[in-house]
């Protein structure tokens, strides 16, 4: 195959606007999948006014490059099949081999969508059996941009085999495998995700502006993108105003013995420190480490592992490094003359902008290394103290750079270049990074879905959402939960937005890991949604969904949709039901299945007004249908349909 990019001689002939763009968009490569049964756009850039001809399977389309050099040809609809050869002829010539026609699905979201097959349950066996040459995968690289981009760099579409499948999105792979087995058509997985990212980063400026919540951030982005030299000054100004004790707390002589201790490394949301469990903002960490006389005055390296999101580190009062980006390992050179024999102070200021926070690596990643000496472990007890709470101070002026958690920057760089590629639909696994803003997510996620549908120009394509898994410790009493509220926002979106659905996974999470290894069931439950709602298959696609609550004396009777073969209690008993009266104080309830309904009561509540089920970050899932699918969490105090009834 000839290179996709213009030759050196051709560069001088093309217009300035298209000079940096390839003759054929990199979304089109060998081994790709085109969307079946609809017209498909093929595009690229060349000399303005030039004619380009695209051919495949006896079908042809022509296009003329506009003043900006862009050309776009529209191929007639093709049925599933292949492999074919796709040829593009114009000022350049490109031939793509082994092109299939089938169904293409966008796989997007944050780290649980990014999670690869090689890190999932039973990975060795799954990879060895991943011999599906009609499943193809295209990975969009991590890039941010202040403005919509037209192109990207890529290694191209990969054919699914034991040699390649380990690097596929695990959720996407298991979803695609189910569809391929059931439908017998080629499946393309267009993988564009980034761990730890917020939904507004995946949404365009035009879609966010009416929401009004993100306008200031978008204005800041525009200003910073035009003059990046001011970013550092803005951040230093923010720290000076909102973290005023920095000079004192970073000093070698500061006495931190009155600060509480916390074992490190530990992600804040997964720790036992209640103060940090839902904290976004600045927290300081300090400890002392003894250095042998032989290492005093010599260079050394401070290794802290990855930190979520940003940090600044001091040794004996001297700043030795700073990093932004939650997945990056911290490794800071300590200059000669800083370390001394005996006790040395280490201070680390951590800024968590949203979601999880803290030291997130392994104990082995936290150490002090010195030439000629054994490494000194830094894992263990650190003193800590919170400083600026982002709920009480102005927003932190984020760096543009490669920071993905800025509104629009991932839409601009990881969605915009794909437009208007032919797709069947999208699967979405995201929400952890928006969990503290569930009410906002109720409008944000529908806005993003509508934005993508408008941009791709292929109607209201299917959009299937993974509901957040159970996570963190199980609590002994009913209470409020940001994760439960985010799950509710996801459910409301699936019910409100046409041609969408939800895969509930509150039974397969892990209390101590935000990344459940069981991606098989996630992919399968997404596939059930698609098989039922997109492909019209007669399958039970979801677990019980709350429908109505009726008050019956001192009890409430709940009815459900999607009961399949009937309601069942996992392990024989129902749990995770809570009930409240007019005082709105929820207590654990007795719950029993009665036919296709559940009757809930408590001797502590004589006149119930509301019931909640699985309303916690880590609920114990007990209500299923006979098909083995868990009920969606719900609260009747936020849903219509509570009526008086008689037994």
Least confident of 257-261, 273-277, 436-440, 547-551: 273-277
The token duo for 217 is 């951030």
Contact 90, 52 (CB under 8 A): yes
- Asked whether residue 638 carries a pLDDT value surpassing 80, the answer given is no
Q: What is the pLDDT of residue 399?
A: 64
- Asked whether residue 135 carries a pLDDT value surpassing 70, the answer given is yes
First and final CA of the chain: distance in angstroms? Answer: 74
Instruction: Using alpha carbons, list the distances in angstroms from residue 307 to 230, 286, 352, 369, 596.
Output: 24, 15, 9, 19, 48
b/e 245-274 (16+ beta carbons within 10 angstroms → b): ebeebbebebebeebeebebbbbbbbbebe
Q: What is the pLDDT of residue 11?
A: 27
Per-residue pLDDT reduced to its tens digit, 423-465: 999 999 999 999 999 999 999 999 999 999 999 999 999 999 9
Residues ≥6 apart with Cβ < 8 Å to 65:
18, 45, 46, 47, 48, 49, 50, 51, 52, 71
The token duo for 561 is 């949709």
Average pLDDT over residues 57-78: 97
Average pLDDT over residues 308-317: 93
Please tell me what DSSP assigns to residue 77: P
Instruction: Using alpha carbons, list the distances in angstroms from residue 535 to 228, 331, 359, 449.
Output: 48, 51, 45, 20
Angle at CA 293, nearest 5°, toward 287 and 294?
115
3-class SS letters over 515-552 = CCCCCHHHHHHHHHHHHHHCCCCCCCCCCCEEEEEEEE
Mean pLDDT, the chain, whole residue set: 92
What CATH superfamily is the domain 233-389?
Answer: Galactose-binding domain-like (2.60.120.260)
- Enumerate the β-bridge partners of residue 503: 466
Binning pLDDT at 50, 70 and 90, where does residue 4 land? very low
- Look at strands 261-264 and 380-389 and give their pairing: antiparallel
Per-residue pLDDT reduced to its tens digit, 320-332: 999 877 667 899 9
Contact 521, 508 (CB under 8 A): yes
- Asked whether residue 134 carries a pLDDT value surpassing 50, the answer given is yes
Contact 30, 1 (CB under 8 A): yes
Instruction: Please state the separation of Cα 363 from the chain's center in Å.
Output: 25
Binning pLDDT at 50, 70 and 90, where does residue 60 land? very high
CA pair distance 129, 152, nearest whole angstrom: 31
Contact 19, 7 (CB under 8 A): no
- Look at strands 590-594 and 310-315 and give their pairing: unpaired
Q: Of 231, 208, 237, 235, which is closest to residue 409 (Cα–Cα)?
A: 208
Residues ≥6 apart with Cβ < 8 Å to 7:
92
Cα-based torsion angle of the residue sequence 207, 208, 211, 213 in order, rounded to the nearest 10 degrees: 180
- Asked whether residue 192 carries a pLDDT value surpassing 90, the answer given is yes
Please tell me what DSSP assigns to residue 566: -
CA pair distance 331, 322, nearest whole angstrom: 10
Per-residue pLDDT reduced to its tens digit, 588-624: 999 999 999 999 999 999 999 999 999 999 999 999 9
Binning pLDDT at 50, 70 and 90, where does residue 536 land? very high
Q: Report the share of the chain in percent with pLDDT over 70.
A: 94
Q: What is the pLDDT of residue 639?
A: 56
All structural domains of the chain with their residue ranges: 8-208+407-533, 233-389, 545-644
The token duo for 406 is 């800025």
DSSP 464-525: EEEPPPP-SPPPSS----HHHHHHHHHHHHHHHSTTEEEE--TTS-BTTBSS-S--HHHHHH
CATH of 8-208+407-533, one of 3.40.50.1110, 3.30.420.40, 3.40.120.10, 3.40.109.10: 3.40.50.1110
Assign 364 to helix, strand or coil: helix
- Asked whether residue 647 carries a pLDDT value surpassing 60, the answer given is no
Indicate the length of the chain as a whole number: 647
Please tell me what DSSP assigns to residue 412: I
- Enumerate the β-bridge partners of residue 556: 551, 600
- Asked whether residue 15 carries a pLDDT value surpassing 70, the answer given is no
Instruction: Please state the separation of Cα 44 from the chain's center in Å.
Output: 30
Q: What is the pLDDT of residue 231?
A: 66
Q: What is the pLDDT of residue 160?
A: 98
- Asked whether residue 18 carries a pLDDT value surpassing 70, the answer given is no
Binning pLDDT at 50, 70 and 90, where does residue 646 land? very low
Q: What is the pLDDT of residue 468?
A: 98
Average pLDDT over residues 388-417: 88
- Asked whether residue 90 carries a pLDDT value surpassing 80, the answer given is yes
Q: What is the pLDDT of residue 323?
A: 86
Phi, psi dihedrals of residue 318, rounded to the nearest 5°: -105, 125
CA pair distance 3, 234, nearest whole angstrom: 43
**pTM, two decimal places:** 0.76
Per-residue pLDDT reduced to its tens digit, 333-349: 999 999 999 999 999 99
CATH placement of domain 545-644:
2.60.40
- Asked whether residue 190 carries a pLDDT value surpassing 80, the answer given is yes
For residue 172, give the H/E element and its range. Answer: helix 170-183
Average pLDDT over residues 265-283: 86
- Asked whether residue 645 carries a pLDDT value surpassing 50, the answer given is no
Average pLDDT over residues 265-273: 81
CA pair distance 373, 122, nearest whole angstrom: 40
DSSP 415-450: IGGGTT---SEEEEE--GGGGGGHHHHHHHHHHHHH
Q: What is the pLDDT of residue 308?
A: 86
Average pLDDT over residues 292-317: 94
* Strand blocks (E) in 24-145: 33-35, 40-45, 51-56, 59-64, 70-75, 81-89, 93-109, 135-139
- Asked whether residue 9 carries a pLDDT value surpassing 70, the answer given is no
Q: What is the pLDDT of residue 287?
A: 97
Q: Report the share of the chain in percent with pLDDT over 90.
A: 84
Angle at CA 160, nearest 5°, toward 154 and 166?
80
- Asked whether residue 643 carries a pLDDT value surpassing 80, the answer given is no
């Amino acid at each position: 195959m000839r290179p996709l990019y213009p030759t050196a001689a051709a560069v001088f002939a093309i217009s300035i606007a298209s000079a940096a763009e390839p003759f054929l968009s990199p979304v089109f490569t060998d081994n790709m999948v085109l969307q079946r049964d609809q017209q498909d756009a093929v595009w690229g850039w060349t000399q303005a006014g030039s004619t380009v001809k695209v051919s495949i399977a006896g079908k042809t389309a022509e296009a003329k490059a506009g003043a900006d050099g862009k050309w776009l040809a529209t191929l007639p609809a093709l049925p599933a099949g292949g492999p074919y050869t796709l040829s593009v002829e114009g000022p350049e010539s490109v031939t793509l081999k082994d092109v299939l026609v089938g169904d293409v699905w966008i796989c997007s979201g944050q780290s649980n969508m990014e999670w690869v097959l090689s890190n999932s349950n039973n990975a060795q066996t799954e990879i060895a059996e991943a011999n599906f040459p009609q499943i193809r995968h295209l990975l969009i690289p991590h890039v941010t941009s202040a403005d919509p981009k037209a192109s990207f760099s890529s290694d191209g579409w990969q054919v699914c085999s034991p040699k390649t499948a380990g690097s596929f999105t695990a959720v996407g792979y298991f979803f695609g495998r189910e569809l391929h087995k059931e439908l017998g058509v080629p499946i393309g997985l267009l993988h564009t995700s980034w761990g730890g990212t917020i939904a507004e980063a995946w949404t365009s400026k035009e879609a966010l502006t009416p929401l009004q919540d993100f306008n200031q951030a978008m204005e800041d982005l525009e200003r910073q993108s035009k003059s990046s030299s001011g970013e550092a000054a803005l951040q230093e100004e923010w720290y000076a105003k909102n973290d005023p004790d920095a000079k004192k707390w970073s000093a070698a002589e500061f006495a931190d013995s009155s600060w509480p201790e916390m074992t490190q490394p530990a992600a804040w949301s997964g720790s036992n420190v209640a103060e940090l469990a839902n904290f976004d903002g600045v927290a300081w960490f300090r400890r002392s480490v003894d250095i042998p006389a032989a290492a005093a005055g010599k260079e050394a390296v401070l290794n802290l592992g990855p930190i979520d999101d940003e940090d600044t580190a001091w040794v004996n009062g001297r700043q030795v490094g700073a990093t932004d980006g939650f997945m990056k390992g911290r490794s800071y050179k300590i200059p000669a003359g800083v370390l001394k024999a005996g006790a040395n102070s280490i201070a680390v200021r951590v800024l968590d902008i949203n979601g999880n926070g803290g030291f997130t690596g392994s104990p082995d990643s936290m150490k002090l290394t010195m030439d000629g000496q054994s490494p000194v472990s830094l894992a263990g007890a650190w003193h800590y103290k919170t400083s600026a709470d982002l709920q009480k101070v102005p927003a932190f002026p984020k760096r543009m750079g490669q920071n993905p958690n800025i509104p629009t920057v991932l839409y601009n760089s990881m969605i915009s270049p794909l437009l208007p590629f032919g797709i069947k639909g999208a699967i979405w696994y995201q929400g952890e990074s928006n969990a503290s803003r569930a009410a906002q997510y109720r409008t944000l996620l529908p806005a993003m879905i509508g934005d993508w549908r408008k941009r791709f120009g292929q109607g209201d394509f299917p959009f299937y959402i993974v509901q957040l898994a159970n996570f963190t410790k199980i609590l002994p009493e009913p209470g409020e939960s940001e994760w439960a509220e985010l799950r509710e926002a996801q459910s409301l979106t699936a019910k409100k937005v046409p041609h969408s659905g939800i895969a509930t996974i509150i039974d397969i999470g892990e209390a101590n890991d935000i990344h459940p290894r069981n991606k098989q069931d996630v992919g399968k439950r997404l596939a059930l949604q698609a098989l039922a709602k997109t492909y019209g298959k007669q399958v039970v696609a979801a677990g019980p969904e709350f429908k109505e609550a009726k008050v019956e004396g001192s009890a409430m009777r709940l009815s459900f949709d999607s009961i399949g073969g009937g309601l069942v209690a996992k392990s024989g008993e129902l749990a995770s039901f809570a009930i409240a009266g007019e005082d709105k104080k929820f207590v654990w309830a007795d719950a029993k299945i009665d036919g296709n309904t559940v009757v809930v009561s408590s001797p502590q509540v004589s006149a119930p007004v509301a019931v909640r089920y699985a309303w916690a970050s880590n609920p114990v899932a007990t209500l299923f249908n006979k098909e083995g699918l868990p009920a969606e969490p719900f609260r009747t105090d936020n849903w219509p349909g509570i009526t008086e009834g008689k037994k």
